Amino acid sequence: MVTLDELTGLGLLQKPSEDAREPLERRESNYHPLNTFALPKDRPYKQQFADIYFLRLTKIKPAVEEHSIAAWEGTVLGGERAKKVERVLDVRQGELCWVVGTVYMDMPLKPSILEDVSRDRWISAPMNIDKYYSNDGSDSVMLEDDSGRIRLVGDSLKDYFLVTGCIVAVMGTENANGEFDVIDLKFADLPPQPDRWSLSSPPKHQDVKMTGDPSSSPSKKIAIVSGLEFSGSSTAYTTELNLLLEYLLGETLGPNEQSELSQISRLILAGNSIAEPKEHLANTLPTTKPTDTKENVLLAKKPFAKKYGYDASSYNPIPSQLLDTFMSELLPTIPITLLPGTFDPANASYPQQPIHAAMFPKSRTYAAIPGTDEKPGWLDTVTNPWEGEIEGWRVLGTGGQNLDDICKYVDSSDRLGMMEAMCRWRCSAPTAPDTLWSYPFQEDEPFVMKECPHLYFVGSQPEFGTKIIEGAEGQMVRLVLVPSFSATKEIVLIDTETLDVTKIKITA
């Protein structure tokens, strides 16, 4: 409870003072992006997707086995000793055993490529189903590997999130119906976590190290914003966007807060910076002026000329222009990492490749010159998912599609729990390529988490959330659900020393 009277005459609510205002210097960002999810420019798309599952199983299986052996080796149930079975097909009825494989969810509501093919539909449209999960028990969980597939049953399955593509070890017996009755279930758990500053070198002046002395120097912060959704038609929250801009620039607020704001050393735009395109109104034809050149008149004559089903006249450049302007105002004082999201002008399939800097005529001068590897650009347009090291912390971030897709598989809205599950599965996009469109990888499966991030954020989420999870080997991961700014008007600040999270809400 604050009243105006208490504040009047203080700070900025007083006559202009002539005290010298020293400009604050924004703190330096120690930034080391990784190219984990970058695809070659000349990638072919002819391969089959099966290799992704194979690679994933091969990569994660050893870790899962290790955990299972530790947990189940020597387990005796009902006078029977559990033994390890190499392949799913080797499971014998009635024998207590455990086996490692890939989960496959068979769900009637889930889009199925086989169905599409059998119906002679060769092009699949993006799905807009909210949930694949159905409550009527028609969903079933399978475990498969390169040898075969077995259906999993048992109450213990309900205790875990399970989605297509995650690697699990199950212990139990095959029952009379040929189903595998699961008694217990294990994941790979958190991968090994690199030390801080494993890729980059810490700043020379070590005053901000974790000395536990907060007075030495305030710690730097990272700002994460998702879902700016610059729109060509809606101006509903333009004021909030302006306030956000002024906030990040440090122009708003008083001197104390400004010096805090100068600690924000990097801005991450985590997906959906551009709004979902609205259906184009067919009758918004461009009107020709008499002064128009010949070419323009020609163009105007056939406004419905479509190429490959694309109506060029429906192109609205305003959203990207607004985003460009927004970034170009911020860039002089703060470096930006830009991840694409569902609606952004990047490829639709995971991993999304960087938004081309040509989209941003004003901001692109801050981007790295293509083909030079020296330093990451001041404006760094990166992949989604993206991995890198900021202030020494390993950071993994996505635009949100991976989590949104997992959400459709389960009867829950516990998104933090699903994020945690992803870390424990060691897979940042398990549902690719089943329901999350993905590039058909052949040699590498980049979604497998080889190293445990310190900070894992997921953008474009309905609401904010954060928590810390811990692993058996002392790993600690800060999970952050970055809310969509367009919906919540919230942004997230991460302290780069403690990984503490602060939420900023902007209302107008």
How many angstroms separate the CA atoms of 468 and 495, rounded?
14
CB nearer to another protein: give 1 or 176: 1
| 3 state SS for 291-305 | CCCHHHHHHHHCCCC
CB nearer to another protein: give 272 or 328: 328
Find out whether the peptide bond into 483 is cis, omega within 30 degrees of 0: no
CB nearer to another protein: give 25 or 279: 25
Min dist. Cβ of residue 110 to another protein (A): 20
Min dist. Cβ of residue 260 to another protein (A): 9
Min dist. Cβ of residue 435 to another protein (A): 20
CB nearer to another protein: give 51 or 500: 500
| 3 state SS for 388-436 | EEECCEEEEEECCHHHHHHHHHCCCCCHHHHHHHHHHHCECCCCCCCCC
Strand order in the sheet with 379-381: 379-381, 336-339, 264-270, 221-225, 490-495
CB nearer to another protein: give 228 or 367: 367
CB nearer to another protein: give 51 or 246: 246
- The tokens for 312 are 């060029």
- The tokens for 296 are 């323009």
Min dist. Cβ of residue 25 to another protein (A): 6
In the three-class reduction of DSSP (H, G, I as helix; E, B as strand; rest coil), residue 318 is classed as: helix
In the three-class reduction of DSSP (H, G, I as helix; E, B as strand; rest coil), residue 319 is classed as: helix
Min dist. Cβ of residue 259 to another protein (A): 9
Q: Give the residue among 474, 500, 502 at the shortest CA–CA distance from 195.
A: 474
Min dist. Cβ of residue 479 to another protein (A): 9
CB nearer to another protein: give 199 or 487: 487
Min dist. Cβ of residue 408 to another protein (A): 14
Instruction: DSSP letter for 101, please.
Output: E
* Angle, helices 238-249/318-330, rounded to nearest 10 degrees: 20
CB nearer to another protein: give 326 or 437: 326
Instruction: State the virtual CA torsion across 141, 53, 475, 407 in degrees, nearest 10.
Output: -50
Residue 252, Cα to own-chain centre: how many angstroms? 30
Strand order in the sheet with 455-461: 31-34, 386-390, 393-398, 455-461, 476-483, 465-470
CB nearer to another protein: give 238 or 296: 238
Min dist. Cβ of residue 329 to another protein (A): 6
CA distances from 296 to 281, 310, 316, 317 (A): 21, 19, 17, 18
Min dist. Cβ of residue 44 to another protein (A): 32
Min dist. Cβ of residue 299 to another protein (A): 19
Amino acid (one-letter) located at 24: L
CB nearer to another protein: give 115 or 411: 411
